[in-house]
């Protein structure tokens, strides 16, 4: 304060000049990290995907769209991309259907239980992906706990094929990605005016009507943004589909991995990776636009 008073005018100008550069200077380290660790490898992957590959010649340094033409024309790749989309959509749906009510119940819990169950819910994120997925493999196998129980109860005669099937992958993915949905819905619930439910009741609404007409529409943005996160993570997930789905049930991420490390066809693997990223970006940005346009006038 006294320094400013002693030299009126000058400190303010210096501050303003420094102020214009400061944000850029301050974000430089983060930008450098992002650039070196993310943008450069991405660009290199993109370049790699344009090269061609021969069984005996290896990677040549030409530029062509041959790999992209291959992926788009071969139904083998089409099926894998379609499966990836199907698994991601089913996972998102399951996570939303189970996660939104879970978040609401958590939200209504009283204080000691709320934090305990929040921790339980975050559990999957605290366990290594391999341990967790192998756990699911033990549960879902032909002689696993789930099948044995169902047979013992007489509900089925022969074991259900969870392993090496889309159902198993969806169940395991929904489990691990659930916390992202719950946290997203939870954030939306925190913004809910606690009196709003009472207001609806006072106007004659029953509990089910309150949930459907008052709570659900208000947490819909949370469900949708949670869905975007879950979808993106499910579509690019690798460990869960590779263990539960095995080598037979390929998805885009495991396909790219196999092209890189088994076939050693790096350019094709890069092409698949680029296409997966592009598809993910298109779907996520599109959904986000939709959400923002739909809810913009209502909230904010």
Q: Which residues bind other proteins (CB under 8 A)?
A: 193, 195-196, 198-206, 209, 213-214, 217-218, 297-300
Q: In angstroms, what is the minimal distance from the CB of 211 to other proteins? A: 13
Tokens of 299: 């909230």
Quick one: CA dihedral 202, 205, 208, 210, positive or negative?
A: negative
Residue pair 174/98 in contact by the 8 Å Cβ criterion? yes
Residue among 157 and 297 whose Cβ is closer to other proteins: 297
- Distance between CA atoms of residues 86 and 257, nearest Å: 20
Residue among 15 and 203 whose Cβ is closer to other proteins: 203
Q: In angstroms, what is the minimal distance from the CB of 219 to other proteins? A: 10
How far are the Cα atoms of 98, 160, 169, 188 from residue 94, in angstroms, in the given order?
6, 19, 12, 19
Determine how many CB atoms are found less than 10 A away from the CB of residue 122. Answer: 13
Residue pair 62/52 in contact by the 8 Å Cβ criterion? yes
- Distance between CA atoms of residues 70 and 119, nearest Å: 47
Q: In angstroms, what is the minimal distance from the CB of 295 to other proteins? A: 8
- Distance between CA atoms of residues 219 and 187, nearest Å: 9
Q: In angstroms, what is the minimal distance from the CB of 290 to other proteins? A: 16
Q: In angstroms, what is the minimal distance from the CB of 228 to other proteins? A: 20
Residue pair 254/145 in contact by the 8 Å Cβ criterion? no
Residue among 205 and 239 whose Cβ is closer to other proteins: 205
Residue among 189 and 230 whose Cβ is closer to other proteins: 189
DSSP H or E run through 59:
strand 58-59
Residue among 72 and 299 whose Cβ is closer to other proteins: 299
Residue among 61 and 300 whose Cβ is closer to other proteins: 300
Residue pair 141/147 in contact by the 8 Å Cβ criterion? yes
Residue among 34 and 199 whose Cβ is closer to other proteins: 199
Q: DSSP letters along 261-287, please?
A: HTS--HHHHHHHHHHHHHHHHHHHHHH
Q: In angstroms, what is the minimal distance from the CB of 193 to other proteins? A: 5
Q: In angstroms, what is the minimal distance from the CB of 204 to other proteins? A: 4
Q: In angstroms, what is the minimal distance from the CB of 218 to other proteins? A: 6
Residue among 213 and 247 whose Cβ is closer to other proteins: 213
- Distance between CA atoms of residues 222 and 101, nearest Å: 12
């Amino acid at each position: 304060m006294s320094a400013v008073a002693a030299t009126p005018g000058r400190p303010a100008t210096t501050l303003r000049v420094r102020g214009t550069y400061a944000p850029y200077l301050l974000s430089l380290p983060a930008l450098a990290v992002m650039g070196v660790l993310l943008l450069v490898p991405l660009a290199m992957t993109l370049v790699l995907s344009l090269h061609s590959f021969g069984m005996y010649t290896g990677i040549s340094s030409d530029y062509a769209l041959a790999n992209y033409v291959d992926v788009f024309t071969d139904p083998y790749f089409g099926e894998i991309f379609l499966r990836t989309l199907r698994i991601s959509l089913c996972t998102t749906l399951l996570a939303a259907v189970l996660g939104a009510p879970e978040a609401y119940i958590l939200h209504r819990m009283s204080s000691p239980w709320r934090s305990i169950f929040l921790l339980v819910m975050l559990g999957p994120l605290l366990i290594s992906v391999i341990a967790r997925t192998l756990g699911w493999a033990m549960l879902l196998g032909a002689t696993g706990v789930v099948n044995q129980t169902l047979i013992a109860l007489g509900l089925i005669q022969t074991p259900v094929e969870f392993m090496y099937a889309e159902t198993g992958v969806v169940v395991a993915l929904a489990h691990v990605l659930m916390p992202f949905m719950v946290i997203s819905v939870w954030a939306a619930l925190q913004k809910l005016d606690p009196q709003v439910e009472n207001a609806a009741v006072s106007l004659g609404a029953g509990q089910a009507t309150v949930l459907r007409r008052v709570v659900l529409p208000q947490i819909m943005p949370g469900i949708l943004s949670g869905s975007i996160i879950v979808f993106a993570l499910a579509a690019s997930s690798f460990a869960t589909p590779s263990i539960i789905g095995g080598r037979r049930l390929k998805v885009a991420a495991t396909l790219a991995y196999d092209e890189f490390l088994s076939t050693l066809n790096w350019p094709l693997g890069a092409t698949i990776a680029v296409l997966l990223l592009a598809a993910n970006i298109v779907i996520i940005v599109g959904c986000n636009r939709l959400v923002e346009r739909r809810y913009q006038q209502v909230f904010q």
